[in-house]
Chain A
Amino acid sequence: MPVPRWLRLAARRLILIVLAGSLARAAAGAVAAAPPATAGERESARVHEMIAATRAEVARFQGAGAATGWEGSAASRQLAALWQYGRDHHGEEAGALATVESLRLLARLHRYSELTAKVETMWPEEAAWAPVMQVLLEWAAASGDFSYFIDKAQWLITASEDASLRARLWFTLGRIYREQGRTDAADAAYKSSAREAAGTPLAADAAGAIYELHHLNPGQAAPTFAVQQLGGGVLSLDKLRGKVVVLEFWGST
């Protein structure tokens, strides 16, 4: 049965009106709200809001002289929610942000046993490990006690499949051992770092650190050189024997 002409026209008109309306709404939406396009962007916006809220709540708690008690405080509830978000999204960038920020806030609050208890529950493949180890390192440096950092780094080196993370952990362990006067352990750690980082700039840094470990200690002969001076002439370190020498490495930029 043929469709009457008036009906065809009406239908076409209706389609045009609907189309125009949706285009107008799309344009208005683009100008006004610009909702995050991808799921990742939406999660990122959400986690940044949670982080800001948690920071504000923790600052309020500290501002009140931490007088009210941590358990049951709004700050502790907010922080627990942020940490839980990190658990629920631990494979994603937004989740890693939440994880790191909750731990950083716990460190700021000096709640170390709570911090380490949370770190103990983390999976070896989480994206958050590099910045989490940074939080642990800062805490170790502030307290002078590196034992937890060392334990955790050694565990992660055996558990993680991320070669670049393992290389960086070995390098940091090398520096800690060196500062503790454990030359052999430092040497081994730097060598492992160089091996794991083969072909990257970190491998060159590790090689430099190994050389420094064995040749640049107080009491050792300073490496000599004879090199071109700015403005002409050669400067030889040997010629400065008999004087105390300050070597200043500087950059104009």
Chain B
Amino acid sequence: MRQRFPAQELAVVGVAVDAVCAKAAAAVELHALTWPQLCDGKGLGGEVARLYNADVTPTYYVLDAGGRIVGKKIEAAKLEETVAKALAAGAGKS
């Protein structure tokens, strides 16, 4: 998905809900993930996980260009479609 949409239009942010950030960092390196990753070492009790009430992994949210939630806890299979819709809605407005 990262390859399908241009970086100036779509930002992907990973939130690693690991109790040990070194493990998350190793996984990021292993899978050569290029997008920003957050980790505070508090697992699902971490700040961002709590802000979004993420209680399982993976959990996905999609936010539009105005910072509003457009996809909440959606399935991985619906991710591309939701992003495409959000991008099209944004392009329609500008």
A residues engaging B (CB < 8 A)? 205, 208-209, 211-212, 216-225, 227-231, 235, 237-238, 240-253
Which of A208, A216, A242, A248 interacts with B69 by CB under 8 Å? A216
Query: In the bound complex, how far is the Cα of B70 from the Cα of A123, in angstroms?
Result: 45
Determine the chain A residues whose CB is within 8 A of the CB of B55 once the complex forms. 205, 208
Query: In the bound complex, how far is the Cα of B28 from the Cα of A229, in angstroms?
Result: 12
- Overall SS of chain B's interface: mixed
Task: Decide: B52 and A218 in contact? CB cutoff 8 A.
Answer: no
Task: Decide: A244 and B53 in contact? CB cutoff 8 A.
Answer: no
Which of B16, B59, B60 interacts with A230 by CB under 8 Å? B16
Query: In the bound complex, how far is the Cα of B32 from the Cα of A32, in angstroms?
Result: 57
Determine the chain A residues whose CB is within 8 A of the CB of B14 once the complex forms. 248, 250
Task: Decide: A249 and B11 in contact? CB cutoff 8 A.
Answer: no
Given the contacts A218-B71, A241-B67, A247-B63, A230 and B13 also touching, CB distance less than 8 Å: no
Which of A211, A227, A241, A253 interacts with B66 by CB under 8 Å? A241
Which of B28, B36, B61 interacts with A222 by CB under 8 Å? B61
Q: Among A212, A242, A248, A251, which residue has the most Cβ atoms of chain B within 10 A?
A: A248
Determine the chain A residues whose CB is within 8 A of the CB of B39 once the complex forms. 228, 230
Which of A229, A237, A238, A249 interacts with B49 by CB under 8 Å? A249
Query: In the bound complex, how far is the Cα of B9 from the Cα of A104, in angstroms?
Result: 49
Cβ-closest chain B residue relative to A237: B67
Which of A209, A212, A246, A252 interacts with B62 by CB under 8 Å? A246
Q: Please encode chain B, from 55 to 89, with 1 for each CB lying within 8 Å of some chain A CB and 0 for all others.
A: 10111111111111111100000010001001100
Q: Is B8 an interface residue (CB 8 A)?
A: yes
Task: Decide: B58 and A221 in contact? CB cutoff 8 A.
Answer: no
Given the contacts A218-B70, A230-B16, A230-B21, A243 and B11 also touching, CB distance less than 8 Å: yes
CB distance from B70 to the nearest CB of A (A): 6
8 sample A-B contacts, Cβ–Cβ < 8 Å, listed by A number: A222-B69, A225-B47, A230-B16, A230-B39, A243-B10, A243-B65, A244-B9, A249-B58
Task: Decide: A218 and B69 in contact? CB cutoff 8 A.
Answer: yes
Determine the chain A residues whose CB is within 8 A of the CB of B90 once the complex forms. 244
Which of B13, B40, B64, B65 interacts with A248 by CB under 8 Å? B13
